[in-house]
Structure 1
Amino acid sequence: METTGIVRRETAERIRDALERLVTERDVWVSTAHPDHGPHQVPLWFLWDGRAMWMCTGATSVTARNVLKEARVRLALPDTFDVVLLQGEAECFPDQEVPGDAAEAFAEKFGWDPRVEEGSFLYVRVVPRTVRAWRGEPELRGRVVMRDGIWLDSASSAPTSA
């Protein structure tokens, strides 16, 4: 792994950078697992509402079937150098039962509203419990920037809110 020129960021900077990416990016790799059939990974569009990731998938998709059986998921932004990994539990909302503000924000971001499409869709909401963020080997130590749903502040070693 090339590490030349990487300047190690403090936790507060990693948190700020991760939050900026959550607001500006559109794609996330979603990893789920079925108790009997094993792991599954797929890219989905996502919306960050300041506290949770919102995604949408076909109601009968493998992802939907998996999260309905096993709520634990892992999410990864699609950059292998500037890594942001999130872990949490999925909360599912059929397209006609999703909170209106989340559905409207999702439709506004992507210009697509699953609630008006033919077929059924499932909105998946994940509040992260753990977030890891790092750029290259120099940042592997201290890569956990959220633990138990609380953003960490390395300067004081005390939790901080986002």
Structure 2
Amino acid sequence: MEPVTRLDRRFSADDATPTPWAEAREQLEHAETYWLSTVRKDGRPHVTPLLAVWRDGAMYFCTGADEQKGRNLASNLNCALTTGAGSLHEGLDLVVEGLARRVTDPAALKELAAAWEAKYGATWHFEVGDGVFVNVAGGAAQVYELRPSKALGFRKGRYGQTTWRF
């Protein structure tokens, strides 16, 4: 299903056009690093870089249950993943917002583990344990799906802010 796309004229150049969702989706798929924003129990934000995979209309990421982001998600599933060019005058920065959902199905985890390794190489090989990824050192990582409820695109150069609602 394609999202509803809207250019926000308040934050866009006069000649800007909305960024097509297909372009944003491709960048989400091919980006290598992302920034995950979660919320601590006391309401303070927490932001950290991580790796992620785009599959079947959602972003997937993993974290240890005892890591700050894992503890945050245990109490508040609202989060955002961000990626972009880090440049002022060119590129497209993206923010994907929504509720994270734990992935525990063994078949889904096997597919995601294969996707991780295909994207990032053998260094990021995971086995599948009891509802988690297991790394070579034996550490467990919970896997989360972030299916967008809203995404934002910030085009540089011919500045334009696009909102996609799902």
TM-score using structure 2 length:
0.72
- Post-superposition offset of 1:109: 1.6
The answer (yes or no) to whether the contact 1:54–1:123 under 8 Å persists in 2 is: yes
| 1:112-127 to 2 correspondences below 5 Å | 112-115=124-127, 116-117=134-135, 118-127=138-147
What does residue 93 of structure 2 align with? Answer: 83
Q: 1:37 to 1:9 in 2, by over 3 A?
A: closer
Count residues with an aligned counterpart.
139
Greater mean deviation of Cα atoms: 60-69 or 85-94: 85-94
Unaligned runs of 5+ in 2: 1-12, 128-133
Letter in 2 for 1:93: V
Of structures 1 and 2, the one scoring higher in RCO (CA 8 A, sep 6+) is 2
Identity %: 24
- Post-superposition offset of 1:8: 4.9
Whole-angstrom distance in 1 between the partners of 2:104 and 2:125: 13
- Post-superposition offset of 1:21: 0.6
Q: Deviations over 1:52-106 (max 9, x none)?
A: 0011122211011111110000111033442211101101236968532122212
| 1:6-155 to 2 correspondences below 5 Å | 8-11=15-18, 13-36=19-42, 38-80=44-86, 81=88, 82-93=92-103, 99-110=109-120, 111=122, 112-115=124-127, 116-117=134-135, 118-136=138-156, 138-140=159-161, 143-144=162-163, 146-147=164-165, 149=166
Unaligned runs of 5+ in 1: 1-5, 150-162
Whole-angstrom distance in 2 between the partners of 1:14 and 1:38: 33
Whole-angstrom distance in 1 between the partners of 2:26 and 2:14: 19
Q: 1:100 to 1:9 in 2, by over 3 A?
A: farther
Corresponding residue SS for 1:26: coil
TM-score using structure 1 length:
0.74
Q: Which runs of 4+ in 1 moved over 6 A?
A: none
